[in-house]
């Protein structure tokens, strides 16, 4: 079998209708939604299938909703006897990767992301935040602009997505200042539709409480490899991974470095497992031109069948 990596999406990959074909086809999909709804007391299936998008996108709803669909896509492929050698997930998606790697149960995955969403929403109501994508500058240049503005208020790098796509986060005025400086260097700055300054010090009020909640969950040594956002490296044991996940809330998502690590590992098949195509879109911008691999989206029954047939 070719070396395979599963990539799990996070916020920004949602769409109304996600997961519906799996829900209609498989008992396990209905059971997983039932479990998610019992944990959250939210009608997630209705939100996923009928929306409205405005309600689906609220972080307290979105985090368990996207995760439920990620896990359903994962279980569907696992039931066909297929798994990954390595998993990674983008921010919220890292929790689905933990499940794929055998670190936490599916029930605990949903419990964690629901708590995470509640705490992040709470912190975002205390302090206004913003996030912009800076397109056209390398990480060192963006970090330099962030450092230049940092003394005036909170601003930081949130996501290093590709070589020249970096998301900044923080107080709206400081994010605007960095964006203006980036535009002067001929970059583009794109405001993101988010309700808080994720991966910044503005949500650090959630860290201790989330850390305490992490301690209520059993973490196992990975059965299959996982690469973490915080380190862009493999987690080796349960205590180390729990510590990394406690830091993840306010730390940058090192996605570009994580994908470079998968390239170093000579991964031959990449599959985005969950709604949307955000991560495969980023991956195509990261892969060297001469890198030989296959890329799939497992976000529908039709696309899953394509993956099974071709791999």
CATH code of the domain in which 172 resides: 3.30.70.250
User: pLDDT digit string (tens) for 218-254?
Assistant: 999 999 999 999 999 999 899 999 999 999 999 999 9
Residues 261, 302, single domain; the answer is yes
Shared domain check, 136 and 40? no
Residue 1 pLDDT > 90: no
Last residue of a domain, one of 191, 212, 238: 191
Residue range 258-293, pLDDT digits in tens: 999 999 999 999 999 999 999 999 999 999 999 999
Residues 205, 92 share a domain: yes
170-182 mean pLDDT: 97
Catalytically active residues are 91, 199
Cis link prior to 52 (omega < 30° from 0)? yes
Alpha-carbon span 87 to 224, nearest angstrom: 8
Q: Which of 191, 217, 237 is the last residue of a domain?
A: 191
Q: Is 41 exposed, middle or buried (0-12, 13-18, 19+ CB in 10 A)?
A: exposed
**Same-domain check for residues 213 and 302:** yes
Which pLDDT band holds residue 190 (cuts at 50, 70, 90)? very high
3-class SS of residue 238: helix
**Statement: residue 136 has pLDDT above 90:** yes
pLDDT of residue 31: 98
Q: Cα 244 to chain center, whole Å? A: 15
Same domain, 150 and 107: no
* Domain membership flag for residue 302: yes
Regarding whether 117 and 136 lie in a shared domain, the answer is no
3 state DSSP class of 226 = strand
229 and 262 both lie in a single domain:
yes
32 and 163 both lie in a single domain: no
pLDDT confidence band for 64 (50 / 70 / 90) = very high
Does residue 241 sit within a domain? yes
**Shared domain check, 226 and 94:** yes
pLDDT at 151: 81
The two tokens of residue 117 are 């969403």
CATH code: domain of residue 235:
3.40.366.10
The DSSP code sequence of 60-80 is: HHHHHHHHHHHHHHHHHHHTT
Regarding whether 167 and 34 lie in a shared domain, the answer is: no
CA distances from 32 to 7, 38, 274, 299 (A): 20, 10, 14, 16
List, in order, residues 6 or more apart from 50 with CB less than 8 Å away: 16
0.75 surpassed by pTM: yes
What's the total number of domains in the chain?
2
pLDDT at 195 over 90: no
Whether 196 maps to a domain, the answer reads no
Q: What is the pLDDT of residue 104?
A: 98
Question: In percent, how much of the chain has pLDDT > 70?
Answer: 100
- Shared domain check, 118 and 231: yes
Domain presence at residue 112: yes
> Which residue, 169, 191, 213, sits at the end of a domain?
191
What is residue 209's predicted lDDT score, i.e. its pLDDT?
A: 97
Range of the domain at 172: 128-191
Q: Are residues 93 and 238 in the same domain?
A: yes
């Amino acid at each position: 079998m070719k070396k395979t990596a599963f990539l799990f999406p996070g916020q920004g990959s949602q769409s109304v209708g996600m997961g519906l074909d799996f829900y209609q086809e498989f008992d396990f999909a209905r059971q997983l939604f039932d479990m998610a709804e019992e944990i959250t007391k939210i009608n997630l299936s209705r939100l996923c299938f009928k929306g409205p998008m405005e309600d689906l996108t609220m972080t307290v709803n979105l985090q368990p909703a996207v995760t439920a669909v990620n896990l359903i896509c994962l279980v569907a492929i696992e039931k066909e006897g297929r798994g990954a050698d390595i998993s990674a997930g983008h921010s919220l998606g890292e929790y689905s990767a933990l499940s794929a790697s055998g670190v936490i149960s599916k029930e605990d995955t949903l419990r964690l992301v629901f708590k995470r969403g509640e705490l992040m929403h709470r912190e975002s109501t205390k302090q206004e935040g913003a996030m912009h994508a800076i397109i056209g500058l390398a990480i060192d240049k963006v970090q330099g602009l962030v450092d230049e503005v940092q003394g005036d208020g909170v601003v930081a790098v949130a996501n290093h997505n590709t070589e020249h796509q970096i998301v900044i986060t923080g107080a709206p005025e400081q994010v605007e200042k960095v964006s203006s400086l980036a535009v002067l260097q001929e970059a583009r700055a794109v405001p993101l539709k988010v309700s808080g300054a994720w991966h910044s010090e503005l949500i650090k009020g959630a860290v201790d409480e989330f850390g305490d909640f992490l301690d209520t969950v059993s973490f196992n040594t990975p059965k299959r490899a996982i690469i973490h956002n915080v380190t862009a490296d493999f987690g080796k044991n349960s205590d180390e991974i729990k510590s990394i996940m406690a830091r993840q809330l306010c730390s940058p998502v090192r996605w570009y470095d994580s994908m470079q690590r998968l390239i170093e590992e000579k991964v031959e098949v990449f599959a985005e497992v969950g709604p949307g195509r955000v991560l495969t879109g980023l991956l195509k911008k990261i892969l060297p031109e001469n890198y030989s691999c296959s890329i799939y989206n497992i976000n529908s029954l039709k696309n899953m069948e394509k993956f099974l047939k071709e791999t």
